Amino acid sequence: MKKIIINGGKTLKGEVTVSGAKNSIVALIPAAILSDDIVRLDGVPDISDVDSLIEILIAMGAKVKKEHDSLEIDPRSIQNNPMPYGKINSLRASYYFYGSLLGRFGEAVVGLPGGCDLGPRPIDLHLKAFDSMGAKSSFEGNYMKLTTKGASLLGAHIYMDTVSVGATINTILAATKAKGKTIIENAAREPEIIDVATFLNNMGAHIRGAGTDVITIEGVSQLGSTRHQVIPDRIEAGTYIALAAAVGEGVRINNVLYEHLEGFISKLEEMGVKMTVEEDSIFVEKQDHLRAVTIKTSPYPGFATDLQQPITPLLLCARGRGIIIDTIYEKRVNHIPELARMNADISVVGGKIVYNGPSSLSGAKVKATDLRAGAALIIAGLLAKGQTEITNVEFILRGYSNIVEKLDHLGADITLVDD
């Protein structure tokens, strides 16, 4: 177990580079199972979720080489063995093995997914899609078993009852090698879906419409080798932009795709955040006179639920009363009691987050309850007077590549220590 110690009150300055997208790589690595040859991924973030996925692939018989931010995966010797429950249970994205193993072997036995506790995140949409393609599911203890009973997966017309990134990607994975055409209606449109579809298409898949609400997949029998650059992490980028606006005196965030962050940046502009958007970077100036705003999360291209928590400390710098409504994950409010411990005027009222600013934060002992809550506490700790001690930082290390080193480079007084 580790913890992060922050001595707040330091102003940050300089440049920080955004790593590859966590929400892409956790799908791209399972997608590599579908290849019949070696694949390479560049821009791989240095996060614990990647380490867990690599261990799972190796346990299945794959050959994996990692060098700096590149990953070479040779899936040709993979065996369809039940997956190690401990590693599967540690990350939510383990459910992508359902689609990739079904696509390759016609069956899968995978431990139930874990990850952050953000309220109900059922996999019924995934199972409904698999059932439409001919795969039956059953629970066996802590495992989910999916099988076509020796038959091939068949293309199907699938309507997603609700917009789901995970279910959309999983259906694409299963359909890539299915016989016939699969059509996904009411599909999610996130950039990470386009990234996965691009990776598969470069291997020889026939996927059209990624990034729209109707995706068509013509099944193929073989997928070849490719080399793929992971897209920048828009959530990490948004986190550093919010951090720079809260405690920065001129911070440039590099490797940013503006078009992936339009909903978020629009809300910052409404607050009065001063920044300059460049071709692949954003320069955030020292701020003053920020205005309180109301935020309501929604599926892409709206305000991302994953950025609701990282922006909260910045909102506490603004003048006035504001509200945050998370329509995606009802339990994404666990950071609020921790911020209140730091003297923030913030509370949950009727399922909505209500804040009054500006708040003068004080250092305290707090706990990261999930990945993005941990990011919020780091920003709050940088803002606060005195020392902040954050425990449960394993959540943070799951999704933010080298965050302590990056913040130290900007001038933060931050250390990662054994607890």
Cis peptide before 82 (omega within 30 of 0): no
pLDDT of residue 90: 56
Specify binding-site residues for phosphoenolpyruvate: 22-23
The Cβ of residue 6 has, within 10 Å, a number of other Cβ atoms equal to: 26
Q: For residue range 64-122, list pLDDT tens digits in order.
A: 999 999 999 999 999 987 765 555 555 667 889 999 999 999 998 887 765 444 444 46
- Neighbour-count burial of 243, counting CB atoms closer than 10 A to its CB (0-12 exposed, 13-18 middle, 19+ buried): buried
Residue 140 confidence (pLDDT): 78
Which residues are the active-site residues?
116
What is the reported pTM?
0.95
Paired with 215 in beta bridges are: 184
Q: What is the mean pLDDT of each run of 10 residues along the chain (419 residues)?
A: 96 97 97 98 96 92 96 96 61 84 92 54 86 92 86 97 96 98 98 98 98 98 98 98 98 98 97 97 97 97 97 98 94 95 97 96 97 97 98 95 98 96
Give the annotated binding-site residues for UDP-N-acetyl-alpha-D-glucosamine: 92, 121-125, 306, 328
Q: Beta strands 365-367 and 387-391: pairing type?
A: parallel
